[in-house]
Amino acid sequence: MNNAQLNELKQRYIAKGAVSASAQFAEHAENSVIWDADGNRLIDFAGGIGVLNLGHRHPKVVDAVKAQLDKLMHTCQTVMAYAPFVQLAEKLCHMTPVKGDAKAMLVNTGAEALENAVKIARAATGRSGIICFDGSFHGRTMMTLAMTGKVLPYKNDFGPMPSDVFRAPFPVPYHGISEEDSLNALKTVFKTDIAPHRTAAIVIEPVQGEGGFYAASPAYLQALRALCDEHGILLIADEVQSGFGRTGKLFALEHSGIKADIVTMAKSLADGMPLSAVVGTADVMDSSGPNSLGGTYSGNPLSCAAALAVIDVIEEEDILARSNALGEKLVARFSDWQQRFENVDNVRSLGCMTAFELVADKASRQPHPELAAALCKKAKEKGLILLSCGFWSNTIRFLMPVTIEDEILEEGLAIIEQSLVELTGA
């Protein structure tokens, strides 16, 4: 079927709230390129929204899934477990920056990982309060919607959110929120909304994903760790989008030198297969009773096999070094655009988790979401998939595979540059 035929089916049978805005349908893909149902070629700078750090269909990941498929597809690990489940848990416990000895649980999605992290934190502390940050994104289930710090498009239509979730401003100095402002706001939350002795956890993305690719500095994360320790509050690091090499380290939290009590991960953990994990301090993870955690498909054998292959590839192909090198290339190019275009500003990067903002002008720093939408649209017309994000929807973010070929990277960047010229007249 071609794009038009598939689009007709989509409009007829897919719920409006779940419909993709794109009229194109992916037919096959290889590393950093997708071909649609009409045979059109598109460069992929979205990577399934951070899922494909190793690219589409990495050969070693594909081989691992095929090999597992010949052995076992499903048993439900709570009924009868299988080797890849415990082997992956072992590796994650040794790799994840958490305090002390670690234990893990495997689930299916980032939202499910965050839901379980909250359950575990409440069980471990006997407290109920959860503090998150403006601009955060933690998922689309009801609890994670309550934690997510942006109304549109996620929360607008779904009524009252679960209680005992509170929020503080994330430090974004470019937009007038200093680290001191954010820390003082957290202390104000303790005075106005929930006392520290009722707070189970503070949940933070070390680099906000949907919120705009703003990174919390090492000093800020160290201060947050100290604040949690002072009050017996657990620190949960949401590494769903920033994990598995995107920032030049396996986890973004490693840049700060601190360790969390719980870390959540998903997306590029299995390079396209549905899998997420919660890894935390063993005593914390063991705080709830037997059979209180899990699910029918949690940590299915195919996804576990994919994740084990991902971990091998990250080491064998030196993905962390490639991430840093890619980030340097992108920053150099974006900095040039920042000098050249009045509307491009605030270039930022941690590894290859890179972004810039589109603004009305550099003096006002007024966000320009209309230009961001127009840039993504024009890039798509020229054969490039590009994503915006952010609290003001004016950030252009880059989630191309870390394994992207140099010539395809340059081709994609040239499309963006030409699109900026056409849109701004610069």
pLDDT tens, position by position, 342-394: 999 999 999 999 999 999 999 999 999 999 999 999 999 999 999 999 999 99
pLDDT by residue (tens digit) across 186-235? 999 999 999 999 999 999 999 999 999 999 999 999 999 999 999 999 99
Structure tokens, 7:
């689009």
Closest CA to 245 of 255, 235, 237: 255
The answer to whether the CB of 231 falls within 8 A of the CB of 221 is no
Phi, psi of 234 (to 5 degrees): -80, 140
pLDDT by residue (tens digit) across 46-99? 999 999 999 999 999 999 999 999 999 999 999 999 999 999 999 999 999 999
What topology is assigned to 72-316 in CATH?
A: Aspartate Aminotransferase; domain 2 (3.40.640)
121: Cβ–Cβ under 8 A, 6 or more apart, which residues? 130, 200, 201, 234, 236, 261, 262, 284
The answer to whether the CB of 207 falls within 8 A of the CB of 353 is yes
Quote the CA–CA distance of 27 and 373 in Å, as a whole number: 25
Residue ranges covered by each domain of the chain: 3-57+318-424, 72-316
The answer to whether the CB of 119 falls within 8 A of the CB of 144 is no
Locus of tokens 């299916």: 108
Quote the CA–CA distance of 260 and 76 in Å, as a whole number: 29
pLDDT for position 20: 85
Closest CA to 399 of 330, 318, 303: 330
- One-letter identity of residue 90: E
Homologous superfamily (CATH) for 3-57+318-424: Aspartate Aminotransferase, domain 1 (3.90.1150.10)
Locus of tokens 């007249």: 425
- One-letter identity of residue 382: K
326: Cβ–Cβ under 8 A, 6 or more apart, which residues? 351, 352, 402, 404, 409
Structure tokens, 193:
């909304």
Give a three-class secondary structure readout of 227-275: HHHHHCCEEEEECCCCCCCCCCCCCHHHHCCCCECEEEECHHHCCCCCC
Phi-psi bin for 211: left (phi > 0), alpha (psi -120 to 50), beta?
alpha
Quote the CA–CA distance of 158 and 246 in Å, as a whole number: 32
Quote the CA–CA distance of 343 and 125 in Å, as a whole number: 47
Q: 153: how many CB neighbours lie within 10 A of its CB?
A: 9
The answer to whether the CB of 89 falls within 8 A of the CB of 81 is no
Confidence check: pLDDT of 156 > 90? no
- Cα–chain center distance at 272: 13
Closest CA to 207 of 353, 421, 347: 353
Confidence check: pLDDT of 115 > 90? yes
DSSP letters of 80-127? S--HHHHHHHHHHHHHS-BSSSEEEEEESSHHHHHHHHHHHHHHHHS-
Structure tokens, 259:
């360790």
DSSP letter, residue 292 = -
- Asked if the bond preceding 301 is cis, omega within 30° of 0, the reply is no
Q: Which of 22 and 234 is assigned the larger pLDDT? A: 234
How large is the average pLDDT for residues 395-420? 98
What is the overall mean pLDDT for the chain? Answer: 97
Confidence check: pLDDT of 153 > 90? no
Cα–Cα distances in angstroms (integers) from residue 103 to residues 98, 202, 263, 284, in the given order? 10, 20, 11, 9
pLDDT for position 426: 78
pLDDT tier for residue 285 given thresholds of 50, 70 and 90: very high
- SS3 category, 293: coil
Quote the CA–CA distance of 271 and 288 in Å, as a whole number: 30
Structure tokens, 198:
């009722």
Task: Please report, to the nearest 10 degrees, the dihedral formed by the alpha carbons of residues 279, 283, 288, 293 taken in order.
Answer: 20
Confidence check: pLDDT of 103 > 90? yes
Quote the CA–CA distance of 71 and 186 in Å, as a whole number: 50
- For the chain, the distance separating the N- and C-terminal CA atoms, rounded to the nearest angstrom, is 41
How large is the average pLDDT for residues 142-159? 90
Confidence check: pLDDT of 154 > 90? no
Confidence check: pLDDT of 5 > 90? yes
Helix pair angle (59-69, 301-316), 10° resolution: 150
